[in-house]
Amino acid sequence: MTKIDVLVDLQFGSTGKGALAGYLSAKNSYEVAVSANMPNAGHTAYNSAGDMFIHKVLPSGVFSRNLRVIAVGPGSVFSIKRLAEEWEYLKPRIPSHPRLIIHEAAGILSESHKELEQKTLGRIASTMQGSGAALCDKIMRNPGVIAADREFEIREHVPEAEIVNQWQWLSAFLSSGNALVEGSQGYSLGISSGFYPHCTSRDCTPSRVVADASLPMSWVRHVYGSCRVHPIRVGNTAEGSSGGWYKDQKEITFQSLGVMPEKTTVTGRERRIATFSKHQIEEALLMAHPHKVFVNFAQYNHEDTRAAMETITTTCAGLFGKPVKFIIGYGPYPSDIVE
């Protein structure tokens, strides 16, 4: 029977989901890697050879020796040009030669979507990549905005791509084994999670990730929750703020931690960083009920890392009545991740 593991972010995004997906794919030998990304999220992963993969379309969990299918789900929004760039880089670097399937309902990004958001969303320090505008076009049933409408163009840029209908999509999973389904962004950026309008255009929970991949919830085996010792938000713009924090946390600086400032993969803006929030992690853990929790950027401050893990342990014991299992990240490479 097909089983899927789901990877979600427990904070504001940028917790290292790409690194974790790469690590899990190599360890667990998934046969299918699934994403439903939008262009407002970029994930970075490294393989064992040290090659860097920056994906805004394709999943990051592509390092399994048994990988048979790379799947781009119907909840995706992607640029055809970006898809081609990622596929051309990835193709010679994975030995298994998997199929590339794209659900016919996946959304297609155009320059007009990005231009519209750049005119209107600077006030909330959005990434302004066109995700919401493309989603609005799809909801309004406008022509030319899903993969089925642009199949010829997609195949022209990526000849190996297969545009599949819902039954073909499900059949690809039924004929394979276990799959890793990757979410993007983070729980607290969800449109319903309390930070509206400083949020993304959808929710970021396991159930939403599975829905965006158009897969049955009954197939879910494990959920992996990803967080970092010091949560971040995307940087502000000259026009506006990217949003607030939980009441039990405060904004700090990278300099106070003695580390170089981070910049986002998508915008290149310097990130904002804050202290760990019990309120945030409690809500996110309740919504995600993860099998294991990835605590990343542990190298920034070991004392803060221990405190965060103690908070997570206590919270999980109170919510679920059982201990939590940890995966710890000390850097971007697979060798930097330990269980």
Active-site annotation, residues? 14
The single residue listed with the structure tokens 């009920």 is 289
Give how far Cα 125 sits from Cα of 30, 122, 129, 197, 235, Å. 37, 5, 11, 10, 7
d(CA 47, CA 296): 18
d(CA 309, CA 279): 14
The single residue listed with the structure tokens 């004929």 is 175
How many CB atoms lie under 10 A from the CB of residue 250? 10
Peptide bond into 197 cis (omega under 30): yes
Give how far Cα 44 sits from Cα of 27, 104, 209, 260, 292, Å. 17, 26, 19, 18, 20
Cβ atoms of 315 and 281 within 8 Å: the answer is: yes
CA–chain centroid gap for 122, Å, is 23
